[in-house]
Structures are given as C-alpha cells and as structure tokens.
Amino acid sequence: MGSAHSLAIVHPMPTPRTTSTPLHIAALSGSPSARSRSTALLQLALMSLESEAASQHLIAVRELPAVALVSADVQEPEIRAAADAIARADLVIVATPIYKAAYSGLLKTFLDLLPQDALRGKTVLPLATGGSAAHLLALDYTLKPVLAALGARHVLDGVFATDAQLQAHETGYVPDPALLERLDRALQGLAEDAPRCRPVRAASLAR
C-alpha cells in the first residue's frame, strides 16, 4: 500500500487519447472557491476517466466573466465556448458545493444560460461536497430536478462527500478510501450506461 494520492486544485485538464471509442467529457465546477473540495472531487473523477476520454473540458464557472453570467449574455465568447463544450460532450460531470441545503447559486447562473435541452442525450454524473452528512440528499432533491429540466435522462448515482472525507493537504485534498469506493461505484454505473467507457478504478489512483 503506497502513500495517499493528493488532489490538485483547479488547473487546465490534459486531453488524453484512447484506443477504444473515446468519450467527450465536460466537467462543470460550480464552486466559487479557488481552493475547492468539490472541484477536487471532480478532478478525481476526471483522472479516473482519463484513459477513456477523447477530450476533457473543465469549466470553472467562477472563472467565467461575472457580468456576462449575471446578465445572461449567452453571446459572450467565454460563455459561448463553455456552452459549446457542454453541447459537444457525451458525459457531463457537474460538481457543486452544498450551500444552504442546495447546489451553489454560482452553478445555477451558468445552468440558466444553457438551452432548454442542453443535457438531452447525455450521461450526467452529479458530485457534491458539504460540511455535513445531513445534506447528503441535497443532490437528489435540488440538483437532479434541474438536470431533468435540462433534458438529462441518464443521470448516474450522485456522489456526495463530507469535508471530512476530503482532508486538506498542502497541494490539494486527500480523499477518504470510502469516498473513492463510492466514486468507483458511480463510475461503474457509467460503464453500464456507456459500455464503451471503462473507467480506471478511482480507488487505484490512491495507491
């Protein structure tokens, strides 16, 4: 057993090529924080899928132009590029912190700019982190209805992590083994949903 894997914070994602039919992945981070647990969880999912991805596009909503976001300027080039990345994706991973028992308002500012059927025909994996396990179901009762309203019909089991399950480390966050197992299970659901995608076990990334 080697040392625990530590997760970096937000940075541009690599674009690995694969030998099997590859997936285009859009990863949406809805945290306002530069040092973000939910983004770390998102990155862990991306690392698990790296070898099967044609492209990975990380959209950090906090880095999009604020005025364009709040004034719903869908023609703004960075907003348009982000929406195009969602449109091209086979798999959309949506990560959010839990704020006031729901997904973040920042995430909603972006989701509100997407076309009505933006998630139709795509597989969606919801991820969240929260301070308390008491809000474990917030993904189900707040985010999933919004995903459904955007046309998502293939929504994988969400993964919720408490802050204690992502321990702060100098360069990022160290995931708890139980969290890695839950992420693995969710990603196995992806393999069933999209058989061409065979994710690397997240737990193995921690060895």
CA 39 → CA 1, 121, 166, 203, distances in Å? 26, 24, 11, 18
100 near ligand FMN, rule: CB under 6 A: yes
Of these, 23, 39, 48, 111, which contacts ligand FMN (CB under 6 A)?
A: 39
3-state SS string for 34-66: CCCHHHHHHHHHHHHHHHHEEEEEEEEHHHCCH
Site string for ligand FMN, 173-202 (x = CB under 6 A): ------------------------------
**Pairwise CA distance, residues 162 & 149, whole Å:** 27
Of these, 31, 56, 142, 165, which contacts ligand FMN (CB under 6 A)?
A: 31
Among positions 11-30, residues that touch ligand FMN (CB under 6 A) are none
DSSP 169: E
Among positions 138-167, residues that touch ligand FMN (CB under 6 A) are 163
Of these, 101, 137, 148, 178, which contacts ligand FMN (CB under 6 A)?
A: 101
Nearest-approach distance from CB 29 to ligand FMN, in angstroms: 8
Of these, 129, 147, 182, 183, which contacts ligand FMN (CB under 6 A)?
A: 129
Contacts with ligand FMN, residue ranges (CB under 6 A): 31, 33, 36-39, 97-101, 129-132, 135, 163
